[in-house]
Amino acid sequence: MKKIAVVALLVALAVVPVFAAEGLGLGISFGYPATGVSFSYAQKDFDVIGTVGWNFSDNGYLAAEAGVNYAWTSFNIDRAKFDVTAGLAGATWIPLNDNSQKLGLAVTVPVGIDYDFRDIPLEIFFRVSPGVQIIPDTGFYIGGTLGVLYHF
């Protein structure tokens, strides 16, 4: 378990400087398959998104999601602008114990709503990610995340 945590930390430390430019967002997210550190690297209309974290169900596993989101449309409530996003992503999870859990992999289509505050570089997002689980068995997959990002 310690080896997996160290490897995840080293990967995160190696990836963060690559995205250390305008458009980088780092924060936290809560949901399934993982609760942990989220990132977003914003381009004009699309974002590279991801989460590295953990889940304590079934005695725990390390999980990661990564993909791209495209801002399809937006709408306003009063003067607040909300973006509606959809994209393509992958999710994987690694068991942290030797129980009957197995390595997992899924392909997902995250659909969500993002709100960027006008006066501070903060974003709140909600995503639902239906998809297809490929490993260990083929079947329907559903994930969901609520999070907040600080944009540098």
pLDDT tens per residue across span 23-35: 899 999 999 888 9
Q: Is there a contact between 71 and 44 (Cβ–Cβ < 8 Å)?
A: no
pLDDT of residue 106: 95
pLDDT of residue 99: 65
Q: Which amino acid is at 53?
A: G
pLDDT of residue 19: 46
* CA atoms within 13 Å, Cβ hemisphere of 94: 13
In total, how many domains does the chain have?
A: 1
DSSP the chain: -HHHHHHHHHHHHHHHHHT-STTEEEEEEEEES-EEEEEEEE-SSEEEEEEEEEE-GGG-EEEEEEEEEEEEEEEEETTEEEEEEEEEEEEEEEESSSSS---EEEEE--EEEEEE-SSSSEEEEEEEEEEEEEESS-EEEEEEEEEEEEE-
Q: How far apart are CA 84 and CA 121, in angstroms?
A: 19
Give the tens place of pLDDT for each residue, 84-102.
Answer: 999 999 999 888 876 656 7
pLDDT of residue 60: 79
pLDDT of residue 49: 93
Q: Is there a contact between 114 and 125 (Cβ–Cβ < 8 Å)?
A: yes
Q: How far apart are CA 84 and CA 69, in angstroms?
A: 10
CATH number assigned to the domain comprising residue 52 = 2.40.160.20
Mean of pLDDT values over 103-120: 92
Biggest distance spanned by C-alpha atoms of the chain: 52
Domain containing 83 equals: 2-151
